[in-house]
């Protein structure tokens, strides 16, 4: 079946450091890929998405590129802030739709801690 | 942005009782709603998918008689855990999508269920 693997945390960085959270997937067909973020005490929020190979999703300074050849969707940010501290989930939608047509397959989540 | 409200956020009850969790889309019509379960330090696992006016589709291994799902309107879905036992203790999260799946899912804040 489909699966998502992401680096386990916690990942601790200093403010203004460069961030990479690795995410790889296995899926049949052509999935859509997502990054969700969960801030303390809140529900999951969509951070960015990509629906086809070579698409780059971006939001709030975060970027991720859909790499079909390496089945990866790594999350990056050039300069992190304390407010970026949260849990980040990589996910896929097997149907390749906008993400609302079928249940998502999630990674285990990566807890990111940014220190001042 | 789209808002999904989940209630209650935390419930404690005795073994053998039934618990109902509500999931409401507040500002859009949710043609599809999803229910997930999350164990500590694990990823979200899809339990079932429900479309308004139709019976829910359960994932393999999820007992449909234990977890009753009703999606009677375009803004409300409920999950009832029947005759709950301690092993049903978990974090339950709903999500909703509109426009026939063309848009990403929007998540509720989750319900922490503890069965004594």
Question: Which chain B positions have a beta carbon within 8 Å of A43's beta carbon?
Answer: 4, 6, 93, 107-110
What percentage of chain B has pLDDT greater than the value 90?
Answer: 72
- Tell me which residue of B91, B71, B2, B59 sits closest to A46, measured CA to CA: B2
- pLDDT score recorded for residue B14: 95
Q: What is the mean pLDDT of chain B?
A: 91
Mean pLDDT across the stretch B31-58? 90
Check: CB of residue B16 under 8 Å from CB of residue B84: yes
Looking at the complex, does the CB of residue B76 fall below 8 Å from at least one CB of chain A? no
Per-residue pLDDT 10s for chain A (116 aa) are 899 999 888 999 999 999 999 999 999 888 999 999 999 888 899 999 999 999 999 999 999 999 999 999 999 999 999 999 999 999 999 877 777 778 899 999 999 999 99
Residue of A100 and B59 predicted with greater confidence: B59
* CB nearest to B109's CB, from A43, A95, A101: A43
The minimum CA-CA distance between A73 and chain B, rounded to whole Å, is: 17
- pLDDT score recorded for residue B65: 94
| Per-residue pLDDT tens digits for B72-102 | 888 999 999 999 999 999 999 999 988 666 6
The minimum CA-CA distance between A85 and chain B, rounded to whole Å, is: 17
* CB nearest to B46's CB, from A4, A101, A103: A103
Question: Which chain A positions have a beta carbon within 8 Å of B101's beta carbon?
Answer: 95, 97-102
- Tell me which residue of B98, B82, B79, B99 sits closest to B36, measured CA to CA: B79
The minimum CA-CA distance between A114 and chain B, rounded to whole Å, is: 20
CB pair distance less than 8 Å for B103 and A109: no
- pLDDT score recorded for residue B99: 67
CB pair distance less than 8 Å for B46 and A100: no
Q: Which residue of chain A comes nearest to B99, CA vs CA?
A: A100
- pLDDT score recorded for residue A88: 97
- pLDDT score recorded for residue A41: 82
Check: CB of residue A83 under 8 Å from CB of residue A27: no
Residue B42's CB is within 10 A of a number of other CB atoms, namely 13
């Amino acid at each position: 079946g489909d699966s998502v693997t992401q680096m386990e945390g916690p990942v601790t960085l200093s403010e203004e450091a460069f961030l990479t959270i690795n995410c790889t997937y296995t899926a049949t067909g052509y999935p859509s890929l997502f990054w969700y973020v969960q801030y303390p005490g809140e529900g999951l929020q969509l951070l960015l998405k990509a629906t086809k190979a070579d698409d780059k999703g971006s939001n709030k300074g975060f970027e991720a590129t859909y790499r079909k050849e390496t089945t990866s969707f790594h999350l990056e940010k050039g300069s992190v802030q304390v407010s970026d501290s949260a849990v980040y989930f990589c996910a896929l939608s097997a149907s390749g739709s906008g993400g609302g047509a079928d249940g998502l397959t999630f990674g285990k989540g990566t807890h990111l801690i940014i220190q001042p | 942005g789209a808002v999904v409200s989940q209630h209650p956020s935390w419930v404690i009850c005795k073994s053998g009782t039934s618990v109902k969790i509500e999931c409401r889309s507040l500002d859009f019509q949710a043609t599809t709603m999803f229910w997930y379960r999350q164990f500590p330090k694990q990823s979200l696992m899809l339990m079932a998918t429900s479309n308004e006016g139709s019976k829910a589709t359960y994932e393999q291994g999820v007992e449909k008689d234990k977890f009753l799902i009703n999606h009677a309107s375009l803004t409300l879905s409920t999950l009832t855990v029947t005759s709950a036992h301690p092993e049903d203790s978990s974090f339950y999260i709903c999500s909703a999508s509109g426009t026939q799946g063309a848009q990403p899912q929007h998540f509720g804040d989750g319900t922490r269920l503890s069965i004594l």
